[in-house]
Amino acid sequence: MAPGAGPDSRRPRIGVTGSARRFSASWYAIRLSVWLAGGRAIRITTRRRYPQEHLDAVIVSGGDDIHPGLYDSEELPDKEYDHERDELEQSYIRYAVDEGLPLLGICRGYQLINVFMGGSLHPDIRKMRKRTSNFGTILPRKTVLLESGSLLADVSRSARLWVNSLHYQAVDRVGEELSVAGRDLDDFVQVLEHDDGAPVLGVQWHPEYLVYLPAQLRLFRWLVRQASHRRSSSEFPLG
């Protein structure tokens, strides 16, 4: 069966927020990644809403810059911002955090989770890089070193990951209840997770373009597994 072709009630429903553009390479790559991991991706945009209470997990995907006003910074010249998408995705992040839905942030999505939790961003790190390249690519050309004992180190079964890089912004101040789980060779934060073990994970790269690497596919398998556990517990509550 093709990814997402027809309803499959046995698969956890993973809401994927993203761009409202008709064609989104990231959406199709995430859709396939979620399918390979055992879930069913549901596209959510400002033009395509979906009831939050019907989801088992949420992915906030990559895309355009977050409006800098959300972290008390200035707009950059010649940049386009999407206030409606910012608001939409914050509402899904809020619901996931409040209700304990597994939550994965990818690139912009990871940055937005940090901003939502009270953190801030470096508006442009291109001149700050010393050991890493500004060259953007979906290929794994960059090293991320994971913190020993972190969630992602456990999930990926690795202390070092090869990742891609399509960003020029980065996490500056880390949000409340979040901890750093990985950095690149320039010491920029690349992975955030929740302090108290809640199923919240954010990565600066795009794992949906790297699912041919086992460690990257395990990230989606973790999310689907968490969604399955939550779904089972809600269908068969204790007491």
Which residues are identified as catalytic? 107, 206, 208
Give the CA distances from residue 189 to residues 42, 44, 78, in Å, rounded to whole numbers and listed in that order.
Answer: 29, 27, 26
Contacts within 8 Å (CB) and 24+ apart, 216-219: 216/156, 216/161, 217/33, 217/36, 217/37, 218/155, 218/156, 218/157, 219/104, 219/152, 219/155, 219/156
> Parallel, antiparallel, or unpaired for β 121-122 and 103-106?
unpaired
Helix axes 214-235, 25-36, angle to 10 degrees: 70
How far, in Å, CA of 147 to CA of 172, rounded? 18
First-to-last CA distance in the chain? Answer: 38
How far, in Å, CA of 178 to CA of 194, rounded? 5
How far, in Å, CA of 38 to CA of 228, rounded? 9
What φ, ψ does residue 95 adopt, rounded to 5°?
A: -65, -45
How far, in Å, CA of 222 to CA of 228, rounded? 10
Yes or no: say if 181 and 166 are a contact pair by the CB < 8 Å rule: no
Q: Residue 23: what residue type?
A: F
